[in-house]
Structure 1
Amino acid sequence: MSAQNVTPAPETSKCAADASHSSSSPADEWPSRGVKVYRSLLSIPRTPRFAFGGTIAQFPFPLVGMGMLIGVQHAYGSYGLAGALSAVVALTSAVAGPIIGRLVDNHGQRRVSIPIITIWVLADIAVMVALALRAPIWVLFALSPLLGLYAPFGSMLRARWAVALRGRPQGLNSALSLTSTLEECMWVIGNPLAAFLATSISPLVSLGLAAVLMSVGMWIMLADSTYEPAPQYATRHRSIARQVSRILHRHGDVQDSLVTSPTTDEGDLPTETPQPQPAARQGLWSVAFASMLIIQLAYGAFLSITTLSVVAFSGEQGHQELSGVITACFSAASMIAALTYGAIDWKGELWKRFYIGLIALAVGCSMLVFVHSMWGAAIVMFIAGLAQAPTVVNVNQMIVRMVPSYRFTEGMALCGTMWVVGQSVSSLIGGHLIDAFGAIGGFLTTVGCALAALICAFATFLPIKRAVSGETPANYF
């Protein structure tokens, strides 16, 4: 669905509207490039709170991922089991993600997220206890699905930027780049920190820190509802109430209207000033959106197996404690690229930038099959990482143009779902191949998944191009 068919974002609370209006600047005063772009974004009142709070709330992902991987391998001696547990978490997230996203859109971010995060924190603590006691494997499989139930902070963060930047679409690319930069910074710090804690102290420390950061980030972001999108149910109910009120006024108070109000020249009853009606409900699904979901599946698959393979490769080299540093090279490059990408006022077509980035990322990760040293792995990961954040930003902008705004969180959650499905499949297959053939088995799986992503992308080239060509994010607002 093109951006021209996307309905306007739902109206927010009066507080949000006033804050957005008071902080607005004319479009021609918005900086087009450089660090001033990010300064302008963070100078909007209260945006730093949700920007940094939402990032902190995502910090547990590298901590739990690396902590469980190393913890399970140390306790049970199997990368295959670690991959299987990761697959369970991912598949649960794949099933629950769109449902939670729809609930968030309909009922509000705080009302849905707080109970879900409470369950997640309790499940994380239970997994810590199970690993400490080396509980039967079935206990881990029973607890792992609960770790797949979490609030979509990345989607909620981007939805809040959409509200904060209503009327200033020229800041969208930079806002998404800033979000990706902060998220990559999280991975830069989180991966080596998780590897250090898991190998030098205990995997349980990594999992415990994850529970703390999830709780803190949730409080920072959700305690302020200034830019929280209005729940869709509330918006619909207000619309229905207005329609009922007009009907009652027109039919129930006809006599009063005849006595107290002048008539038109034709003698018709006076009418109210027309009120803007909600745009027609648009469908979520389109060929382009479905195509992006398939690409996301393969994209998530090759990135996930790359991380698992790097951990195994580091172990073969006798430096498993440095596995987090190698993956951090990827995230550091991605963070640098995100800052640079968001500071540039791009004039080229969005679809061209997406394809260039996806090709560079797929080829870069595939080059790991040729490395034979830790230094070589670090260099390849850094080069590949330069394409990561720009590709993620491009995907986010394309989703903004493909889905109706009132189902944005759900659309982003579906993308995340396909991402984690790809992760689960590649972790399951790649984990067993690593057990059987070593790190090279994982790297070959990376090549296969990267090739699948490129085939999917080029097989659906025309629908994607038609959906995003010549459009601007302005239509989203």
Structure 2
Amino acid sequence: MPSANYSTLLRTPGAKAFYLTAALGRIGIAMTGLGIVWLVQGRTGSYAVTGMVTGGCAIGDAVAGPQLGRLIDRFGQTRVLPPALLAHAAAVATLLALVLCSTSTWLMTAGGVLVGATLPLLSAASAARWAALLHGDRAAELPTAFALESLANALGYLVGPALVSALGASGHPVLGTALAATLVVAGGLAFAAQRGTAPPPAPASTPHTRAARSLLRPGFAVLVALNLAIGVYFGALQLSVTAFAVEHHAAASATPVFAVSSCSGLLAGWLYGLRRWRMAPRTQLAVATAVLAPASLLLLAATTPLGLGAVVLVTGATIPPVLVLFSVLTESTVHRTVLTQAFTWLGSASVAGSAGAAALSGWAIAASGARGGFAVAITAAAAMAALAAVGIRRPYRSVSCP
């Protein structure tokens, strides 16, 4: 067991304040996409229009996220986040007005792009604060801190979608979208107000430091590709589980199947963060993805919702350690002054993979049923295992510069 567990990490001066405020904002972020679905579908009655607007939100998030991360690294979290959060509030208000006034599809889609482009980078910013706090003699505690971050994300994506779905199903989709924006802005502003733990802005660049801070590194490229693949895995699995439940005339069973996967992941992530692992992170990643790939093949063997639940119990437990290791390896691969930007590139890759998987697995399900969608997820898991093996042959290296 490590010398520092979750409670001692949160007793680090300033840690609890920024962690909890970021967690509040993350609940709102987890509500945003699904809130738009309830809002647009309820107003227009068209899934095609809903897909356009939510897709625009995802594209805006994926494209603008790394640029906002670069600004944060250059000028600091406390200077960049407040105006970005106010812009997000204005974007959500604009989208609500466009939808309620039943404007054209393209205008609503543009509103969705604005909402996604202004979503704050609370997960990346919080992870960057842990890296700044736990440097030097405390660097060995970073995996535990990143596991704590993973737990906050998982809890956010359990609570947020359930809350916004309850409001949407009860006939209050506008309230769901407004509440999501309120949580994002309130949590984000409270997070930005914690100035004592914010990483300092990057100093002026020189030719030497620009080269050292570059993200164009083989190890980081592997991590971006891994996040793209895991986005495809998540996107394909979400659609395929729903299709499987419908095929077996048990549409309601999709919810408990997702819940089993989420709870399994929460438990696995919590236990993973409690242990000090002797194995190198890149080797751990190769082992975890090597387990996920064959475990995912069991999806094709499931014949009942109960059997599918047993499979996702195993695959869901494998995902949190993988996500934690992505953060650990990123921190050791890029320079500390570009960490926020690096974390947002990983998030953007995951969002892009998930968006692409929605179209690809939808086509596969239409052609071959839920098994076709599962095949997309299995292919993504196999790609992760292959990429992790490439990462071992091309070791990740820490970067340092003045």
TM over 0.5: yes
**How far is 1:281 from its partner?**
4.2
Aligned residue among 84, 90, 112 for 2:58: 90
Name the counterpart of 1:166: 135
Name the counterpart of 1:399: 330
Cα pair 2:289 2:381 within 8 Å, conserved: no
Aligned residue among 166, 171, 191 for 1:196: 166
Cα pair 1:295 1:453 within 8 Å, conserved: yes
Distance 1:177 1:395 in 2: 11
Distance 2:209 2:349 in 1: 31
Aligned residue among 443, 452, 467 for 2:396: 467
1:331/1:181 CA distance change after superposition, 3 Å = same
**How far is 1:83 from its partner?**
4.6
> The residue matched to 1:345 in structure 2 has which SS?
coil
Name the counterpart of 2:176: 206
**How far is 1:334 from its partner?**
1.6
Point out the more displaced range, 295-304 or 375-384: 375-384
Distance 1:107 1:43 in 2: 28
Q: Which amino acid aligns with 2:70?
A: R
Point out the more displaced range, 196-205 or 58-67: 196-205
Distance 1:362 1:317 in 2: 25
1:343/1:385 CA distance change after superposition, 3 Å = same
2:386 aligned with 1:449: no
Point out the more displaced range, 173-182 or 443-452: 443-452
Question: What do you get for the CA RMSD once the two structures are aligned?
Answer: 3.2
Q: Which amino acid aligns with 1:151?
A: P
Cα pair 2:32 2:181 within 8 Å, conserved: no
Distance 1:433 1:135 in 2: 33
Distance 2:372 2:45 in 1: 18
Distance 1:131 1:316 in 2: 33
Identity between Structure 1 and Structure 2 (%): 25
**How far is 1:197 from its partner?**
3.2
Q: Which has the larger radius of gyration?
A: 1
Q: Which amino acid aligns with 2:222?
A: S
Q: Deviations over 1:28-84 (max 9, x none)?
A: xxx725xx5112111112211111111221112332233334555566666665555
1:279/1:423 CA distance change after superposition, 3 Å = closer
Q: Deviations over 1:311-361 (max 9, x none)?
A: 444555666666454333322222211211111011012112112222333
Unaligned runs of 5+ in 1: 1-30, 240-276
Which structure features the higher share of helix residues? 2
Distance 2:36 2:367 in 1: 21
1:59/1:402 CA distance change after superposition, 3 Å = same
**How far is 1:160 from its partner?**
0.8
Q: Deviations over 1:226-263 (max 9, x none)?
A: 1111112xx339x9xxxxxxxxxxxxxxxxxxxxxxxx
Name the counterpart of 2:229: 298
> The residue matched to 2:197 in structure 1 has which SS?
coil
Pairs within 5 Å for 1:221-370: 221-232=191-202, 235-236=203-204, 281-314=212-245, 323-365=254-296, 367-370=298-301
Name the counterpart of 1:58: 26
1:76/1:353 CA distance change after superposition, 3 Å = farther
Point out the more displaced range, 60-69 or 292-301: 60-69
Q: Which amino acid aligns with 1:163?
A: A
Distance 2:94 2:366 in 1: 27
Aligned residues: 399
Distance 2:292 2:77 in 1: 33
Cα pair 1:109 1:222 within 8 Å, conserved: yes
**What's the TM-score, normalizing by structure 1?**
0.74
Name the counterpart of 2:72: 104
